[in-house]
Amino acid sequence: MARPDVPALVAAFRADLANATDPTQLDVVRRTHSGKNSPLKLGLRGLRDVPADDRPAVAAEINAAAEAIEVEIAAAQGQLEAVALEARLDAEWADPNLPGVATGRGSRHPLSLVEDRCLAVLRRLGFERVDGPEVEHPFYNFDALNVPEHHPARDAQDTFWVTDGFLLRSHTTSVQARTLETRRDLPIRIASAGRAYRNEAVDATHLAMFHQLEGLWIDRGLTFAHLKGILAFLATELFGDQRIRFKPKFYPYTEPSVGVDLACRLCDGAGCEACHGAGWITILGAGMVHPAVFETFGFDPNEVSGIAFGLGTTRMAAQWAGLTRVKALYEQDARVMRILHRGAP
């Protein structure tokens, strides 16, 4: 093999290096001029053909050229990376003096807002909040509330049964039963809020899981006039001058019983999907505590009387948020948190 022309090889390398304008081209230059099959590497393998006296000088010349090529390639790679970084910074440039993008603030769920507003109104009337279990015994959910086994009202509240004969409560009224079992001093004014469960068909105003808020007032001398007065006060405080109407209802644990309808806030009583075209939505059921309930817990119905009422906070929250279907409250849609309007609390 002929002795390699090292200066010519270095000159060819530098010419190719000058034309390398991106990392891919630079990699080609590296493999061409310093790879295992490059002229310099082949020159080192062919030193055996060089006269012995000249061999050390030729080897030193080739090694020096190889080291110079590696240094220049590294320098060129650094320059290309610097150019690429500068281009990226230019493309992504931002004025550090400009204000940053603020993270959106969270919001309380419409159901929580409605529940808090209801409780605030009831506290003004002397009610205190109490809580009870969601997994309930049938005695407190049905029997103690004048709904014995095989009563038609049990079919209307077809619920979810769990182990050992317990069930998911079908109304928060079970908390009233537990309160009457443990309290004797009058007056008793309590409110309870939370989830309830019923095996119902899902539509615009019904779900298998929903929220309620119950109120109970036990004292001497309470009449239906007190009941109607407190219901009208609640409706006015919660919905302002929105039209309401009273209608007769049946509940096994109250007698007489009454329901309160609200003129649909989405159509102002004209009829829409949210109210099934009726123009009204039932938001409240109430009545005078049934004598049988008092007798179950050792109260004399001839001496005491009581007012019981239940607010459908799921329907109320949907009305406040302007939602046509109550299911939207439970779908984890952040937009629901931002659309509280129409007189939201």
Given a cut of 50, whether residue 345 has pLDDT beyond it is no
Residue 243: burial class (beta carbons within 10 Å; 0-12, 13-18, 19+): middle
User: Average pLDDT for residues 282-306, to the nearest whole number?
Assistant: 93
**Same structural domain for residues 209 and 238?**
yes
Q: Which residue has the higher pLDDT, 122 or 65?
A: 122
Give the phi and the psi of residue 148 in degrees, each rounded to 5.
Answer: -70, 170
In this structure, the answer to whether residues 15 and 139 fall within a common structural domain is: no
* pLDDT higher than threshold 90 for residue 206: no
Residues 51 and 191 in one domain: no
pLDDT tens readout for residues 133-157: 999 998 999 889 988 887 776 766 6
Provide the domain count of the chain: 2
Residues 55 and 178 in one domain: no
CATH number, residue 266: 3.30.930.10
pTM for this prediction: 0.66
Residue span of the structural domain in which 290 resides: 110-337
Helices (H) and strands (E) in the chain, counts: 12, 9
| Planar angle of CA 152, 260, 326, nearest 5 degrees | 80
Q: How many CB atoms lie within 10 A of CB 245?
A: 13
What is residue 340's predicted lDDT score, i.e. its pLDDT?
A: 55
Calculate the alpha carbon distances from 82 to 46, 74, 78, 211 in Å. 39, 12, 6, 61
Same domain, 239 and 123: yes
Are 74 and 186 contained in the same domain? Answer: no
Domain termination residue (choose one: 91, 119, 154): 91
The structure tokens listed for 72 are 């220049």
Q: Is residue 83 domain-shared with residue 121, that is, in the same domain?
A: no
Confidence band of 248 (pLDDT split at 50, 70, 90): very high
Residue 99 lies in a domain: no
Same domain assignment for residues 269 and 302? yes
Q: Is there a domain that residue 342 lies in?
A: no
